Amino acid sequence: MKISIGNDHAGPEYKKAIVAMLEAKGHQITNYGTDTIEAVDYADFAHPVAQDVEEGKADFGIVICGSGNGIAMTVNKHQKVRAALCWMKEIAALARLHNDANVISIPARYTSIPQAVEMVETFLTTEFEGGRHQNRVNKIACQ
């Protein structure tokens, strides 16, 4: 699987742990995030992830910032992106099951690293249910 990841200064350690898990599972990772805790603008790292998902260069995206909100808002500006802000594995599963989310947004200041790794694993291994949810998903993007 091809996965793009981006993070601001709140997420370098989260990204490092997530990437290690994903690479151990044989996934191909494109890293757009910063590796330092020096203050940066999350949008600079969000747009490349969203573009990869939108253009089919990545199967999924992972974005990380302090609250998870700003970076989620940014990637959701892209028409083909359905980013879900997740703070527990059950939310990550529902984001895939019911919303066919293709980007997970992680709030680094409100989750632990092991929790974030578990959420990503759940997100990537949960299939979209389709059925009654497909019609709702079809209405998400602006026309």
* Residue 138 DSSP SS3: helix
Residue 27 corresponds to which amino acid?
H
Q: Break the chain down into helix, strand, coil percent, rounded to 5.
A: 45, 15, 40
Q: Which of 9, 27, 47, 65 is catalytic?
A: 65
Q: Is 98 a catalytic residue?
A: yes
* Residue 131 DSSP SS3: coil
Measuring CA to CA, which residue among 127, 75, 77 is closest to residue 105? Answer: 75
Q: Is 27 a catalytic residue?
A: no
Q: Which of 27, 47, 98, 133 is catalytic?
A: 98
**Residues recognised as catalytic:** 65, 98
